[in-house]
């Protein structure tokens, strides 16, 4: 039987509440993605990983002002790549977009980054120039590209024994419409663990030395129970966007409900070696039940995770060429 999510799937180009723009450095294998909200968006956030690289996430906290953010940036380059938001802010300011302080406009931009310095050129990271160009792209139109684009260019998974034992991953999107409600997801999958489809089939992850078979990341993790630093360069970052009206506190709850898709599709997940983060943004005034929206958001996220893997597949020879 066809799932509810598949029956109600739509293209993100059918949704006008946000635009997606990318900048990609195919030589260095890094990039970033800007999600721009023409009318602004209230946002919440769930951070379950132990090592996030983020900027302005307090704008999503229920204890801070109910100001609408202008953009969410998903980037590569780890903490270095957070400089890309400088360019996004400059671009928005030039277009007279931002919070009016009475003295100047201050664009409200949240950002989270993956660690992709273990793939491609580690000394090249997204910067303000790339942020500016990605924002210009998002202002013009929305991109429905997936896989090795934007923030997904340097994304890899299944790295518990090192990047070269893992798989290429990337950027995924998925969206549904039901009645007047839409729920859309954008995600960059860059995980320590193995990746499974929503139906439970392993689709990427830890390989054997000869790369002829898959091994199990959780089993590898439990071979050594001694406390240790397992840093191998991870973090899955994503955003859920809906036109249902919710407060920042409710959106934070929706983000945490969406995290169940991470648990279903990424194993293990939310370790101290990950920086897993999910934003949830509300752009409209549709009245909808938080339980339904949160549950559907998890289903849409699971499909977006699969899309990120399917659309980023490359040959083993090409993959190993850029592993560090």
Each residue's pLDDT tens digit, 275-319: 789 999 999 999 999 999 999 999 999 999 999 999 999 999 999
For residue 2, what pLDDT is reported?
A: 73
Q: What is the pLDDT of residues 108-159, one digit of tens each?
A: 999 999 999 999 999 999 999 999 999 999 999 999 999 999 999 999 999 9
**Angstrom distance (rounded) from CA 144 to CA 89:** 23
Give 176's pLDDT tier (boundaries 50, 70, 90).
Answer: very high
Q: How far is CA 68 from the centre of its chain?
A: 20
For residue 46, what pLDDT is reported?
A: 94
- The average confidence (pLDDT) of the chain is 94
**pTM: predicted TM-score of the whole model, two decimal places:** 0.95
Q: Average of pLDDT values for 103-109?
A: 97
Residues 109, 70: contact at Cβ < 8 Å? Answer: yes
Q: Is the pLDDT of residue 94 over 90?
A: yes
For residue 1, what pLDDT is reported?
A: 61
Q: Is the pLDDT of residue 214 over 80?
A: yes
Q: Average of pLDDT values for 74-96?
A: 97
- What is the H or E stretch that residue 319 is in? helix 316-321
Q: Average of pLDDT values for 230-237?
A: 73
Residues 180, 286: contact at Cβ < 8 Å? Answer: yes
Residues 76, 114: contact at Cβ < 8 Å? Answer: yes
What percentage of residues in the chain have a pLDDT greater than 70? 98
Give 256's pLDDT tier (boundaries 50, 70, 90).
Answer: very high
Q: Is the pLDDT of residue 226 over 90?
A: no
**Angstrom distance (rounded) from CA 161 to CA 304:** 26
**Angstrom distance (rounded) from CA 231 to CA 5:** 35
Ordered DSSP codes for 217-278? HHHHHTT--S-----SS---EEEEEEEE---HHHHHHHHHHHHHHHHHHEES-S-TT---EE
Q: What is the pLDDT of residues 34-47, one digit of tens each?
A: 999 999 999 999 99
**Angstrom distance (rounded) from CA 190 to CA 125:** 16
Tell me the domains of the chain and their CATH numbers: 4-321 (3.60.70.12)
């Amino acid at each position: 039987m066809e799932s509810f999510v598949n029956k109600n799937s739509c293209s993100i180009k059918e949704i006008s509440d946000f635009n997606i723009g990318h900048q990609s450095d195919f030589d260095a294998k890094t990039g970033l993605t800007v999600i721009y909200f023409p009318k602004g968006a209230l946002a919440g956030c769930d951070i379950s990983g132990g090592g996030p690289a983020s900027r302005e996430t307090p704008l999503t906290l229920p204890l801070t002002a109910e100001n609408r953010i202008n953009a969410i940036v998903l980037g590569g380059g780890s903490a270095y790549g957070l400089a890309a938001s400088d360019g996004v802010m400059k671009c928005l300011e030039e277009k007279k977009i931002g919070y009016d302080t009475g003295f100047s406009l201050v664009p409200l931009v949240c950002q989270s980054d993956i660690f992709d310095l273990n793939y491609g050129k580690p000394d090249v990271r997204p910067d303000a120039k790339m942020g500016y160009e990605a924002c210009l792209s998002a202002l013009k139109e929305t991109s429905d590209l997936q896989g090795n684009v934007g923030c997904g260019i340097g994304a890899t998974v299944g790295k518990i024994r090192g990047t070269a034992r893992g798989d290429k991953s990337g950027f995924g999107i998925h969206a549904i419409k039901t009645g007047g409600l839409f729920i859309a997801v954008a995600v960059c999958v860059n995980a320590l663990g193995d990746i499974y489809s929503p139906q439970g089939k392993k689709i990427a992850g830890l390989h054997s030395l000869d790369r002829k078979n898959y091994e199990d990341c959780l089993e590898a993790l439990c071979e050594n129970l001694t406390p240790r630093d397992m840093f191998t360069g991870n973090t899955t970052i994503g955003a859920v966007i809906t036109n249902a009206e919710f407060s920042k506190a409710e959106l934070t709850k929706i983000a945490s409900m969406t995290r169940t898709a991470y648990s279903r599709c990424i194993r293990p997940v939310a370790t101290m070696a990950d920086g897993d983060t999910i934003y949830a943004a509300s752009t409209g005034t549709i009245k909808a039940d938080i339980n339904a929206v949160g549950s559907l958001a998890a289903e849409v996220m699971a499909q977006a995770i699969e899309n990120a893997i399917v659309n980023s597949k490359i040959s083993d020879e090409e993959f190993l060429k850029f592993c560090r």
